[in-house]
Amino acid sequence: MNIFSGDKDMKRINSLTMILALMAIVGFAISGCKKEEGGLKFNHQLHVVDNEMKCSDCHSAGKDGKMEDPDMDKCSECHDIDVDHPSDDCLMCHTLKSSMNDYSVEESVPEKPRGYADLVFTHEAHEDVECNTCHKGIDKQESLSELEWPDMFTCKKCHNGDEAPIDCEVCHTKVRKEIPPESHHGDWAMQHGPASRFDKSCVFCHDNPKRFCNDCHQTQKPRDHIFNWKTTQHGQDATHDRRLCAVCHPASYCSDCHRSQKPVSHARGDWMAYTRENGHAEAAKRNFRSCNVCHTTSECRECHQNVILRK
């Protein structure tokens, strides 16, 4: 049964489809610009590089030791600002959203990482450190949204125990080396593997992460080493990423075992059959590198020089 009564219904459907598509495009465009619409536009490169200004020309340390952002009075030292009679010139620094809201300015920089929650920091204690040491590349940034907060790797370049203290309590009120982070509760022992491969922050508490991992994994098998691991699974995983195997096993571990015990694939009835599409031929085409664990390329030639394969 045709649910449409005629051309008018079809036109309505087409019009509705076009409206929804247009709304999606507009919504996408707005979401893409949202990061830039914090209220203020500022180009560090224009000020620091092109006009050779110093950070201290605009920023000064407040009573709590935090670096304060410049206000309108500070900007007016260089810019001709008429607060009572705003004009299009204001849009050089203010976004359109800001101008529509009486030129108010919201937070324009990216949100601070979670690690900053208990951070104790004062710029006064770092007054002899160049700004670019911690705020790497800020002099080349053309937007406040490009600002990147210093991470622990940046801090530890100086806080290494020699140039500056390395103790957690120097900079943090809660973080302690002997107290596990919130992420380390629950089933962390089962879930830490993927996190350790993508997050390099393990080194902050574990002085020698490789040794720390080895001490545990050499005595406790990973959870994927289940009952059929040896017979069917380990070969595939070793093919994809042997580096994981190398955490516990030396390269000789594979060859020592496979020389005395043939892989499960070698039990195929046609493994050494005199046909072109036999078992070992398929395996060699798929992953010849695995053959080289036990066999050299010369072994192939020694056999195939004297064998006539059947079609």
Question: 35 phi and psi, to 5 degrees?
Answer: -65, -30
- Whether 168 contacts 205, CB under 8 Å: no
Residue 127 CB partners (closer than 8 Å, separation 6+) = 61
CA dihedral 165, 181, 149, 136 (to 10 degrees): 50
Q: Encode pLDDT of 264-310 as tens digits.
A: 778 888 888 877 778 888 888 888 877 877 788 888 888 777 666 55
The contacts found for 236-242 with CB under 8 angstroms, 24 or more apart, are: 239/287, 239/289, 239/290
Supply the DSSP symbol for 46.
I
- Whether 145 contacts 110, CB under 8 Å: yes
β-bridge mates for residue 68, sequence order: 60
Residue scoring higher pLDDT (37 or 55): 55
Q: Residue 20, class by beta-carbon neighbours within 10 Å (0-12 exposed, 13-18 middle, 19+ buried)? A: exposed
Q: Encode pLDDT of 94-135 as tens digits.
A: 888 888 888 888 766 778 888 888 898 888 888 889 998 999
b/e burial code for range 176-209 (CB count within 10 A of at least 16 → b): eeeeeeeeeeeeeeeeeeeeeeeeeeeebbeeee
**Span 41-58, mean pLDDT?**
92
Per-residue pLDDT band at 3 (split at 50, 70, 90): very low
Report d(CA 181, CA 199) in Å as an integer: 14
In this prediction, residue 30 carries a pLDDT of 46
3 state SS of 8: helix
**Span 194-204, mean pLDDT?**
81
Q: Encode pLDDT of 218-266 as tens digits.
A: 777 777 888 888 877 787 788 777 777 877 788 788 878 877 777 777 8
In this prediction, residue 28 carries a pLDDT of 47
Q: Residue 48, class by beta-carbon neighbours within 10 Å (0-12 exposed, 13-18 middle, 19+ buried)? A: buried
**All structural domains of the chain with their residue ranges:** 44-170, 241-304
- Whether 239 contacts 290, CB under 8 Å: yes
Report d(CA 54, CA 204) in Å as an integer: 33
